[in-house]
Amino acid sequence: MSGRPGEVADTGFVSVGAVVAQVGEVLGRAHSLFGDPPASGQGPAAGSVMKLSGAGDLVRSGQAQMAPLSGQLATNYSTFAGGAGPALDTLAGNDRALSTQLDDAARSDRTGRTSSGGVVNGAAADTNGLAPFTNTPAGQKALLVALRQRVAQQQQVVQAYKTRDAQMAAMLRSMAYGGGGAGSGSPFGGGSGLSMPQMGSPLSGLQGLSGLSGLGGSGTRLLSSTRPGGRGPLGALDAGSIVARAIQGQLPPGKAPENGLQKFSVLTNRAVSAAFPQIREIGGVRADSLKWHPNGLALDVMIPNWNTPQGKALGDEVLSFVMANKEALGVDHAIWRQATYYGPGGGEPMGGRGGATANHFDHVHIATKGGGYVRT
């Protein structure tokens, strides 16, 4: 049938108009995930800094006034003030840092909304521009190719902000609120009622993006973050965790030479090196026929005694660690013992390539999403 200006023609088998409508719905749903953030996220946290600082000063003032006195009351207050003053200062410092992080989160969400909105508008422009030609197979194909590219582009926007969201969450959870950072000796430690509740992240709704996954590829999957045998979680994003410290630049360079590595490869190198001190060698940039190693996108974590039960267990733990922290570290995939892992459960088997190194029995290959080159 002939297409009128602005109207998409249908094929004899598939309604191109239906495809356009579905793509529009998916792109719009992705765009709505970013919400409409405030101009600044600092408000409440910024206001509490002054109050907490004032409370700390008040406690110290009371301590000074009680110092000349004797008796049980003076002794008890001195003990209380000795812990409460520094604890209030710590909380004020945390709120000051929290204020900055919330402002960054709002700005990130605002930028993401602008980027995803640009994809939606671009898809609309593609549709309007190609509509007059969709009465031909070539025109229909051109439109479908353009829309598929827009879906892929929107996926990239969403994935980039999922990674940024995970990193922000790691930084927020690393702050010493409640029992996690105050310590058991603090008057504001566990059980005081002042521990910080779990905080939602600005892009927490991104996990529900099933539509984009269906059109553009499989969704992200995560391995369990528990060590084999039921020992504690690996790399949980809590106060002082290895991953949080890596993101905040608090870890030393890792076992792999970092010259030529991109940002997420550097983070992963440092986190794995700190988490597994028994790892003595990690390979990084090298010549290869694939893009990963030459472009600073991959690490080879060499497993000592790989052909023993202990070596296999160590490799399994390294794999679990990077998969549990996949988003925060910007990991794309990992290869271990002739299987490629993108998420939970078993990996995807690989064909035999030869020896132990080619089949990844003696090392865990970790590929990252890059993130750009950094100065080392």
57/163 same-domain check: yes
Q: Which two tokens stand for residue 120?
A: 């939606």
Cβ contacts of residue 117 below 8 Å, gap of 6+?
31
Shared domain check, 137 and 257:
no
Inside any domain, residue 77: yes
Residues 52 and 158 in one domain: yes
Do 21 and 147 fall within a single domain?
yes
In Å, what is the CA distance from 185 to each residue of 86, 90, 178, 209, 304?
12, 14, 12, 44, 40
Instruction: Please report whether residue 92 resides in a domain.
Output: yes
Give the residue from 361, 366, 368, 273 showing the smallest Cα distance to 312: 361
Q: Which of 145, 171, 197 is the last residue of a domain?
A: 171
Q: What is the pLDDT of residues 336-366, one digit of tens each?
A: 999 999 976 678 998 888 899 999 999 999 9
> Rounded to whole angstroms, how far apart are CA atoms 322 and 272?
8
Q: Are residues 134 and 23 part of one domain? A: yes
How far is 254 from 269, CA to CA, in rounded Å?
A: 5
Domain boundary among 115, 143, 171: 171
For residue 364, which phi and psi values (nearest 5 degrees)? -100, 120
β-pairing, 298-302 vs 363-368, is antiparallel
Tens of pLDDT, residue by residue, the chain (376 residues)? 344 445 555 444 557 888 888 898 889 888 888 767 666 555 555 567 677 777 778 878 877 887 888 888 878 878 887 788 787 777 777 777 677 767 777 777 778 788 888 888 888 888 888 888 888 888 888 888 989 999 998 888 888 777 777 777 776 666 555 444 333 333 344 333 333 333 333 333 333 333 333 333 333 222 333 333 333 333 444 445 788 888 878 899 999 999 999 999 999 999 999 999 999 999 999 999 999 999 999 999 999 999 999 999 999 999 999 998 888 898 999 999 999 999 766 789 988 888 999 999 999 999 999 989 987 5
- Beta-carbon contacts of residue 253 (< 8 Å; ≥ 6 apart): 269, 270, 376
Residues 6 or more apart from 128 whose CB is under 8 A from it? 6
Looking at the structure, do residues 146 and 259 belong to the same domain, yes or no? no
Q: Which domain holds residue 263?
A: 253-368
Q: Is residue 7 part of a domain?
A: no
Q: What is the pLDDT of residue 174?
A: 61
With 0.75 as the threshold, say if the pTM is over it: no
Question: What pLDDT is stored for residue 51 in this prediction?
Answer: 76
The tens digit of pLDDT for each residue in 243-281 reads 888 887 889 999 999 999 999 999 999 999 999 999 999
In a domain, residue 216? The reply is no
20 with 167, same domain?
yes
20 and 155 together in one domain: yes
Q: Are residues 24 and 149 in the same domain?
A: yes
Query: Per the domain annotation, does 136 fall within a domain?
Result: yes
pLDDT of residue 173: 64
Same domain, 21 and 154: yes
Burial-class residue 307 by CB neighbours within 10 Å (0-12, 13-18, 19+).
exposed
Whether 345 is in a domain gets the answer: yes
Q: How far apart are CA 310 and CA 357, in angstroms?
A: 18
> What is the structure's pLDDT at 306?
96
**Are residues 37 and 142 part of one domain?**
yes
Q: What does the block give as tokens for 282?
A: 């990690």
- Please report whether residue 32 resides in a domain: yes
364, β-bridge pairs: 301
* Cβ atoms of residues 348 and 325 within 8 Å: no
Domains in the chain, number = 2
Q: Which residue has the tokens 């509509």?
A: 131
For residue 275, what is the domain's CATH number?
A: 3.30.1380
Q: Is the residue at 354 inside a domain?
A: yes
Q: In this structure, are 160 and 25 located in the same domain?
A: yes
Q: Tokens in use for 14?
A: 């598939």
Q: Enumerate helices (H) and strands (E) in the chain, giving the number of each.
A: 10, 6
Q: Using an 8 Å Cβ cutoff, are 34 and 116 in contact? A: yes
Q: Which of 114, 142, 171 is the last residue of a domain?
A: 171
